Chains A and B, each alone.
Chain A
Amino acid sequence: MRLLFRLFKSFMLIGIGAYGGGLVTIPLIQHEIVGTRGWLLFDEMASLLAIAQMTPGPIAVNAATFVGFRVSGLAGAAVATLGVILPSLSILFCAGPLLDRFKNNKHVAFFREGLQIGVLSLLFYATWSYGCMAVGSVIDFLLAAGAFLTLILSEGKFHPIIVILICGVLGIFLFS
């Protein structure tokens, strides 16, 4: 019961911090699940994220289901998934009409600008913390840098999932 409660709390924090969703959830998951709680090893989390990226649905939801299941079975999966979507749904439920009215208000725009910069620092932090853990050799670095450059040079024309799959296939040749 306590474990389930902790799972719920952790994923609620992830749900609150994941402003904009997607990749922003990665540093939060790493901090909360690998760092603070120690529920997964970094490598397990990295595999999970790879799968989360390749399967349909938001990363945050996929990660919550997976971690929840690993920690405490079916109940854990349900609790964690609920935890990650509950913060935003409760905000929308309670303040939805308000949000609609105030979303073009300049004070809201100021706050939003700050949040976006906060997300940017989170992405920089993630590049560093995730990169340090994932990259262990020169070949690793070259592969990651190659993915980075491919994405930049193609300016979004290459779907990230294609880049991930190509790197995976290269990985089979390089690492096994």
Chain B
Amino acid sequence: MMSDKPQVVNEKKITLPEIFWAYFKVGLFTLGGGFAMAAILRHELVLKREWISDYEFMSEMSTATLIPGAVAVNMAFLQGRRMRGKSGAFTASAGVTLPSFLIILLIALFAIPYFQHPRVKAFLKGCSLAIAGQIAFAGFIFGRKHLRSIRNFFICAAGLIMILVLKAHPALAVLTAGFLGYILCWQRDKKEVLKKEG
């Protein structure tokens, strides 16, 4: 399955440094990952540089969210591959990852001593409480969207029980929920098909 031919749709050849620089810039100037980055990437790649079409962009975004991991990195990999094959894929992923790596490294090298300063500490404490609110908000929005059937309630409860009662690794709970969802949705689908057939 590894013999994928790079699907270059563009006649003009995009060089690797160009790809690297485009993704580096996006990585450097986008606050927040994933979907915040998607908007900027679309602007840079689809509208400004016309390296890929809007349809391809959307299609790759849905593939990027299909698998685990940072959505921004997944997207870079897929788009890079479309533009320049495997080398493009790795160049784009490196380009989008490197800025945050370097920035955090600089902070870790030079800013850590200041974390103990009372004002900085108080500031960070305020920030971390906002993040608690942000997590609750994400749960709320996501829950409103997905908890619309008994089946989904059941899957969600099963995930929580795995983490809280069975003390399973959270990653394992997500995977289990995936399988559970698969089985239950499949059953639902079978029933619907039976109904249709009479």
Seen from chain A, the residues whose Cβ lies within 8 Å of a Cβ on chain B are 13-23, 26-28, 31, 43, 46-47, 49-62, 65-66, 69-70, 74, 77, 81, 84-85, 87-89, 91-100, 103, 106-127, 130-131, 134-135, 140, 143-152, 159-161, 163-172, 174-176
| Cβ-defined contact, A21 with B69, below 8 A | yes
Nearest A residue to B35, CB-CB: A22
Q: Give 5 A-B pairs besides A118-B177, A123-B135 with Cβ atoms closer than 8 angstroms.
A: A16-B69, A56-B103, A89-B77, A143-B133, A146-B133
Residues from chain B with Cβ under 8 Å of A144 in the complex: 129-130, 132-133, 136
Alpha-carbon distance between A123 and B143 when the two chains are bound, in angstroms: 9
Question: A52-B104, A55-B100, A60-B69 in contact; A163/B130 too (CB < 8 A)?
Answer: yes
Residues from chain A with Cβ under 8 Å of B178 in the complex: 111-112, 114-115, 118
The answer to whether the Cβ of B198 comes within 8 Å of any Cβ in the partner chain is: no
Q: How far is the CB of B33 from chain A (nearest CB, A)?
A: 3
Q: How far is the CB of B186 from chain A (nearest CB, A)?
A: 5
| Cβ-defined contact, A175 with B127, below 8 A | no
Q: Which of A43, A108, A114 contacts B184 (CB 8 A)?
A: A114
Q: How far is the CB of A46 from chain B (nearest CB, A)?
A: 4
The answer to whether the Cβ of B197 comes within 8 Å of any Cβ in the partner chain is: no
Nearest A residue to B86, CB-CB: A93
8 CB-based A-B contacts, threshold 8 Å: A20-B34, A52-B104, A53-B32, A122-B173, A147-B137, A151-B133, A169-B123, A174-B126
| Cβ-defined contact, A77 with B32, below 8 A | no
Alpha-carbon distance between A47 and B131 when the two chains are bound, in angstroms: 10
Q: How far is the CB of B32 from chain A (nearest CB, A)?
A: 7
